[in-house]
A and B are shown apart, each in its own frame.
Chain A
Amino acid sequence: MISADFIRGYVDLLVLESLLDQPSYGYAISKRIEELSRGQYEMKETTLYSAVRRLEKTGAVTSFQGTHSQGRARTYYRLTEFGRRFYDEKCEEWRQTVALVGRFVRDPH
């Protein structure tokens, strides 16, 4: 299990990734993150909502009312162009972080 503290700076990246291919709604995003985490990380609902709301305010995602397969109304979130660029920036930031920290990580002897 990876601690929530460690992931904190990358919650936005996880959420944006779930929206890359198609618009999605709250629980579906949550499930997507759960699947890719393979039990190593669990995002709380409040963390997810807080991230989505923040991304909406900065213009990275837009929301619209839609109905999913079982006919229930859901708030869907769609990635904007700015959101895509923001995702790319976050990925680049992550690669640099990995490279940076990697320089300090020695193989065990």
Chain B
Amino acid sequence: MDAITTYVDHIFRSLPPTAEVARARSELLQMSEDRYRELLAEGVSEHEAVGRVITQFGNLDELADDLGIRSELDRAGRPDAPIDLSHGEAERYLAVRRRGAWLVSGGVLVILLGIAQLVLFSDGAGSDPHPLSLVAFFVAIAGAVAGFIVAGASMSRYDRLKDKELRLEPQVAAAYREQREREQTSFVVKIAAGVAVIILSVAIPATLDTMYPDSEPVTNLAVAAMLVAIGLAVALLIEAGLRRGALDRLTAEGDYAPEKRASNSLTGRIAGPYWIVAAAVFLAWSFIGNAWDRSWLVWPVAGVLFAAVAVGIESFTPKERSDGGR
């Protein structure tokens, strides 16, 4: 009997839960079950009985106009057809997106830590960095890039969901909306804290420079501290953005409302390339211009710019609910 229920559920799963559809489902299920029972009573094997019931079931297309589901049926199979996501698939999607978020934000943090130690261990004003320190810096960049690639590859598994409307079981969708609601405060706090730390961190070298005008170690320490702070703050911004982006995707809110799908979770997607480019600018300026004493200025500028971009993306995209264009 389970096979019959599963079959009928499968036929009906992508249809809207209207009273008319529910009635058709229950009537058709009843007919199929009656037939199945009678076939078994006649001595037909279970396997054979399921096959005959399914053959006799027919086609929902005949019911489309009576059920008012013509538009849903016609959409099925077209490129913009909504994708049905089971609870398990949705959980896996969230898990992959969260791991991706950690890899990207961790990668950015590692790049900035690599630069921090480069600054910390440099000998004096205008001098080249310590060779070992330079090696550690490149190892950090390589590790971060590897992280970005792994994150990009694992998240691209879900490319098929791009530009599609997702459909979840109603109670699952409600649970995710609730979770999104609960995380609203922590999301806002993370973004605000991230931006505040970046801005304050720029003040560290500026302040210490004024207090100890000619002390090279103090300046280096200050710049290193600033870089670590920026790194942590940026990681926080990316993690918050990607985490929220995944939930938005599942609840079809915010920039994942169908008409806005294209511009989603930019914070997460641009973070990797952005900080690699910043590292490239830093290196080019430092080596070509032999400007190790000034080139660290790239980082506060990049940090504040990143904060501006992140805040812009997270707050200026419309967050109003969408009914999925139905």
Chain A interface residues toward B at CB < 8 A: 25-27, 30-31, 42, 44-50, 53-54, 57, 74-75
Please tell me if B210 contacts chain A, counting CB pairs below 8 Å.
Answer: no
CA distance A53 to B28 in the complex (A): 12
Please tell me if B27 contacts chain A, counting CB pairs below 8 Å.
Answer: yes
Q: Which residue of B lies closest to A42 (CB)?
A: B56
Residues of A within 8 A of B35 (CB): 27, 30, 45
CA distance A46 to B24 in the complex (A): 9
Measured CB to CB, the closest approach of chain B to A25, in angstroms, equals 8
Q: Which residue of A lies closest to B58 (CB)?
A: A44
Residues of A within 8 A of B42 (CB): none
Please tell me if B66 contacts chain A, counting CB pairs below 8 Å.
Answer: yes
CA distance A45 to B53 in the complex (A): 9
**How many contacts between A and B, using CB within 8 angstroms?**
53
Please tell me if B263 contacts chain A, counting CB pairs below 8 Å.
Answer: no
Q: Are A45 and B28 in contact (CB under 8 A)?
A: yes
Residues of B within 8 A of A25 (CB): 30
**Chain B facing A: main interface SS:** helix
Q: Are B30 and A46 in contact (CB under 8 A)?
A: no
Interface residues in B, total, Cβ within 8 A? 17
Please tell me if B206 contacts chain A, counting CB pairs below 8 Å.
Answer: no
Q: Which residue of B lies closest to A68 (CB)?
A: B34
Q: Are A49 and B56 in contact (CB under 8 A)?
A: no
Starting from the known contacts A25-B30, A27-B35, A30-B31, 6 additional A-B residue pairs (CB-CB under 8 Å) come to A26-B31, A27-B31, A31-B38, A44-B56, A46-B59, A47-B62
Interface of chain B residues 9 through 65 with chain A (CB within 8 A)? 24, 27-28, 30-32, 34-35, 38, 56-60, 62-63
Among B24, B34, B38, point to the contact of A49 (Cβ < 8 A): B24
Among A42, A48, A53, point to the contact of B31 (Cβ < 8 A): A48
Q: Are A45 and B32 in contact (CB under 8 A)?
A: yes
Given A53-B66, A54-B66, check contact A46 B28 (CB 8 Å): yes
Residues of B within 8 A of A31 (CB): 38
Interchain Cβ contacts under 8 Å between A and B, 23 examples? A26-B28, A26-B30, A27-B35, A27-B38, A31-B38, A44-B56, A44-B59, A45-B28, A45-B35, A45-B56, A46-B57, A46-B62, A46-B63, A48-B31, A49-B24, A49-B31, A50-B62, A50-B66, A53-B24, A53-B63, A53-B66, A75-B27, A75-B30
Chain B interface residues toward A at CB < 8 A: 24, 27-28, 30-32, 34-35, 38, 56-60, 62-63, 66
CA distance A22 to B288 in the complex (A): 97
Measured CB to CB, the closest approach of chain B to A28, in angstroms, equals 8
Residues of A within 8 A of B62 (CB): 44, 46-47, 50
Q: Are A27 and B30 in contact (CB under 8 A)?
A: yes
CA distance A2 to B194 in the complex (A): 73
Given A42-B56, A44-B57, A44-B58, check contact A26 B27 (CB 8 Å): yes
Residues of B within 8 A of A57 (CB): 66
Residues of A within 8 A of B34 (CB): 26-27
Q: Are A47 and B58 in contact (CB under 8 A)?
A: yes
Q: Which residue of B lies closest to A70 (CB)?
A: B37
Residues of B within 8 A of A54 (CB): 66
CA distance A48 to B57 in the complex (A): 10
Residues of B within 8 A of A45 (CB): 28, 31-32, 35, 56-58
Residues of A within 8 A of B30 (CB): 25-27, 74-75
Among A26, A27, A49, point to the contact of B63 (Cβ < 8 A): A49
Measured CB to CB, the closest approach of chain A to B49, in angstroms, equals 14
CA distance A13 to B117 in the complex (A): 87
Residues of B within 8 A of A47 (CB): 58, 62
Measured CB to CB, the closest approach of chain B to A22, in angstroms, equals 17
For A25, A26, A54, A57, the residue with the greatest tally of chain B CB atoms inside 10 Å of its CB is: A26
Measured CB to CB, the closest approach of chain B to A55, in angstroms, equals 11
Measured CB to CB, the closest approach of chain A to B295, in angstroms, equals 72
